[in-house]
Amino acid sequence: MTDPTNALPPVEGEHGIRVIRGSPECRGWNGIHYKAGLHAGNVNARNLSMNVATIPPGGTAWAHIHDGFEVMLYILQGRVRHAYGPGLRHTIDNEAGDFIFIEPGVPHEVYNLSRTEPVQAVVARSAADEWERIIPYDRTEGR
């Protein structure tokens, strides 16, 4: 996937250290709002990307798979439910302060459990391209 906006904040620094200061929410994907983070498109990253994701109150990040990369999350605010595995038959709830690891290839869908408060999480991926290898998952196929 490509960035839907050209309004990305500038990256500062040189000689091996790069910084984005106070990144605003500036892009969206699959029901999630993202603060621009660091990735191969704006720094010399080869195997890692990181940003902050917000799921609006009552929001859902529709079912998808991370093709060939790991994801780690740290929940900063709110409560979230992951439905995961073949057919999304398993669930686990997480809240602020929890760390989450998602293996490559695991189908999952994410729900904000609150109708009034957003969920906010730091997201780190073992892929510098960020968006290129996220595949929609059809729960009815159970693949």
This prediction has a pTM of 0.82
Cβ–Cβ < 8 Å for 18, 75: no
9 domain residue, yes or no = no
- CATH number (domain holding residue 115): 2.60.120.10
What pLDDT sits at residue 48? 93
21 domain residue, yes or no = no
Q: How many domains does the chain have?
A: 1
47 domain residue, yes or no = yes
What pLDDT sits at residue 6? 46
Q: Which residues have C-beta within 8 Å of that of residue 14, sequence separation ≥ 6?
A: none
User: Which letter, b or e, does each residue of 107-122 get, where b requires 16 or more Cβ atoms within 10 Å of its Cβ?
Assistant: bbbbbbbbeeebbbbb
119 domain residue, yes or no = yes
Q: Per-residue confidence of the chain (143 residues) as pLDDT tens digits?
A: 334 444 567 888 888 887 777 765 666 656 677 677 778 888 888 999 998 999 999 999 999 999 999 999 999 999 999 999 999 999 999 999 999 999 999 999 999 999 999 999 999 999 988 667 889 999 776 55
127 domain residue, yes or no = yes
* Nearest alpha carbon to residue 134 among 76, 53, 25, 56: 53
52 domain residue, yes or no = yes
Cβ–Cβ < 8 Å for 91, 83: yes
Range of the domain at 86: 28-136
